Amino acid sequence: MTQQDQVPPVDTAAGPGGPDPVLDETSATRAAGPVTAAVTTLGVRGEEREDFSKAESKRLRRRSLALLGSLAAPLKARLVLLGVVVVVSTAGTVAGPALIAWGIDNALPRVMDENDWVPAFGVVATYIVVAVLGAVLTAWYTVLAARISQAILFDLRKRVFLHTQRLSLEFHETYTSGRIISRQTSDLDSIRELLDSGLNQLIQGVLYMVFTGIALVVLDPTSGLVLAVSLVPLWFLIRWFQTNSQTLFRATRVTSARVIVHFVETMTGIRAVQAFRKESRNRDEYGRYVEDYRVANTKVFNLFGTFDPVLVLIGNATLAAVVIVGGFRIVGGSLEVGALLAVALYAKRFFDPAQELAMFYNGYQSASAAMEKISGVLEERPSVPDPAKPVRLPDATGAMDFDDVEFAYNADKVVLPEFELHIPSGQTVALVGSTGAGKSTLAKLMARFYDPSKGSVRLDGVDLRDIDPKDMRRAIVMVTQEAYLFSGSVADNIALGKPGATRDEIVRAAKAVGAHAFIEALPDGYDTDVNKRGGRVSAGQRQLLSFARAFIADPKVLILDEATASLDIPSERLVQEGLETLLADRTAVIIAHRLSTVAIAHRVLVMEYGRIVEDGTPDDLIAGTGRFAQLHAAWRDSLV
């Protein structure tokens, strides 16, 4: 978290990814121009923003449309059916008033003049059939639409998860967790809302207005003209609403995102928050964000406060005009009563969907913003791509080479300049140096969490970029200070290193690294749930578990990046023997601050400013006068 805060957004165009992998992508992304530039300008990496230029908006829209298209493609048949059902059901609903008019103007006179009931029964029967059919079709439409929107959401949710999981460390180190959570929660929610209700309303509303307008024009062109005139103020009202709501709705989204991000950051960093008494500062800050959100929402409500009454006014005025004009025409004999009733009903109903359409506009805006952000994430390519022609390396010996490597996280600062290193198979190397020297960076390159900007990192002479990812992950394992435990039992967590491991293997691994005793002491031993009370283990114990995980994985190359940092001295002594078992018969790089850990190494590398300044056996270096000799003396003094 803290690192993410400090690290500036990575400029992918000049980043460590080497040749831009995005360009190998589909023509859809290629059409969108140089995507790396898009990625940085569109705020996928940096801050979340919504103030895009016209060209950017266009590109974003095209990008999310392409995504929507790919989501809808498998549902084509169902979408066509949906279209047919909605057209027929809306037409049925709109037919009602026309049938009433026909009944009053034609069937009723026949009853009164000729005592002929057939047309009257006919029209009533038709009315009932149409009404029932309309209801059934509407129900069908609702179910169909819900199924389609669920299918789309399911697909999208899965894609976002799988894709985010696949993205390289570089992405996760720059894209804050608050934002990634927003993608999976609030963004998907606003898309769900739009699909579930908004879109239904839009399609039904628009069709309803169109059919009502047509019915009105067919039934009585003069009244159609009156309605057409009313469209002028309606058009102005809607324009006014759109222009104003765009900024206001955007403000609500930006402010609500800020509230969420602040909340997530506070809670994920709760230890630091409490340790440094940041609560009151947070309270003020959070209070400000919540207040901004409230103000933004109030403005939206005020907007509706104007929009709604004006809309009702236009509707009522139109209705009055239709009735007055129609009334005069009835007096003149050019319009029948039934027709006027139908016309009045149409004129009144015409405005019904308008308010929903205005609401839809809000939903549409947040959903399309969400869609843009999600498609931005989906468009990200792993900066450490899988090889096109993977080289199998199932029996690596574990010799590692850095050939002419140069590495930079971003263009302005080279972290490893011209790096050369050969580690023969089976050697245990201790890597020491001051904070920020580049030790973790070296470790991350060795485990291929990043690729070098120049040169190559090789395992058994094969560039890591070319090795089959499965073989590479099997051969090289990195254990860091952050020993993460997943929900499940202790045994499950150890078995992560070797899926399908037997209980015997798990216990053997735990014994090898000195974790067996404390595991046995847990309430349910190896079956203790790590998330349950009593299953909570200390940081040092977590590290022992991650050692067991590494031991059972049995890699050829093992990298420990400050992985012993949380162990107290007695358990480090305990783990010392375990560590020696763990490191035997494999290439190992240990980054550690402890003298005892360094002592078991065959070779010590001292690193400063991204370069190796000393390289030799522990004894040789101690005997010398260099940096390691000084460090060693300081360590010894600290022990007595």
Calculate helix-pair angle for 337-350, 352-379, nearest 10 degrees.
Answer: 30
CB of 512 to ligand ADP, least distance (A): 27
| Pairing verdict, β 462-463 and 454-459 | antiparallel
The token pair that represents 177 in the structure block: 């967790």
CB of 174 to ligand ADP, least distance (A): 7
Nearer to ligand ADP, 60 or 431 (CB): 431
Q: How far apart are CA 402 and CA 46, in angstroms?
A: 32
| Angstrom distances, CA of residue 410 to CA of 13, 41, 358, 403, 618 | 9, 16, 45, 20, 34
Nearer to ligand ADP, 66 or 604 (CB): 604
The token pair that represents 353 in the structure block: 């969907």
List, in sequence order, the alpha helices (H) in 73-198: 76-102, 108-114, 118-166, 169-174, 177-182, 188-193
Chain residues that interact with ligand ADP, rule: CB under 6 A? 7, 173, 409-410, 415, 433, 435-441
The token pair that represents 624 in the structure block: 């010398």
> 3-state secondary structure string, 495-508?
HCCCCCCCHHHHHH
Q: Minimal CB distance to Mg ion: which residue? A: 440
Q: How far apart are CA 318 and CA 225, in angstroms?
A: 11
CB of 440 to Mg ion, least distance (A): 3
Neighbours of 235 (CB within 10 A): 10
Q: Are 97 and 346 in contact (CB under 8 A)?
A: yes
Nearer to ligand ADP, 252 or 480 (CB): 480
The conformation of residue 529, written as its DSSP 8-state character, comes to B
CB of 11 to ligand ADP, least distance (A): 11
How many residues belong to the site for Mg ion (CB under 5 A)? 1
CB of 444 to ligand ADP, least distance (A): 7
Q: Are 397 and 556 in contact (CB under 8 A)?
A: yes
2 binds, among Mg ion, ligand ADP, none (CB under 5 to 8 A by kind): none
CB of 634 to Mg ion, least distance (A): 19
Nearer to Mg ion, 358 or 477 (CB): 477
* C-alpha closest to that of 28 among 379, 388, 370: 379
CA 66 to chain centre: 17
CB of 299 to Mg ion, least distance (A): 48
CB of 292 to ligand ADP, least distance (A): 31
Residue in the block written with tokens 């790919």: 70
Q: How far apart are CA 486 and CA 488, in angstroms?
A: 6
Neighbours of 154 (CB within 10 A): 11
CA 401 to chain centre: 37
CB of 169 to ligand ADP, least distance (A): 8
173 binds, among ligand ADP, Mg ion, none (CB under 5 to 8 A by kind): ligand ADP
592 binds, among Mg ion, ligand ADP, none (CB under 5 to 8 A by kind): none
Nearer to ligand ADP, 383 or 587 (CB): 383
436 binds, among ligand ADP, Mg ion, none (CB under 5 to 8 A by kind): ligand ADP
Q: How far apart are CA 505 and CA 510, in angstroms?
A: 9
Q: Are 318 and 224 in contact (CB under 8 A)?
A: no
CB of 469 to ligand ADP, least distance (A): 21
Nearer to ligand ADP, 224 or 438 (CB): 438
Residues 408-447 binding Mg ion (CB under 5 A) are 440
φ and ψ of 8, to 5 deg:
-70, 155
Nearer to ligand ADP, 170 or 379 (CB): 170
Continuous segment of H or E residues that includes residue 231: helix 221-268
* C-alpha closest to that of 546 among 561, 535, 528: 561
Nearer to ligand ADP, 328 or 609 (CB): 609
Q: Are 512 and 581 in contact (CB under 8 A)?
A: yes
The token pair that represents 226 in the structure block: 């009156």
CB of 405 to Mg ion, least distance (A): 18
CB of 435 to ligand ADP, least distance (A): 4
DSSP 293-311: HHHHHHHHHHHHHHHHHHH
Binding site for Mg ion (CB under 5 A): 440
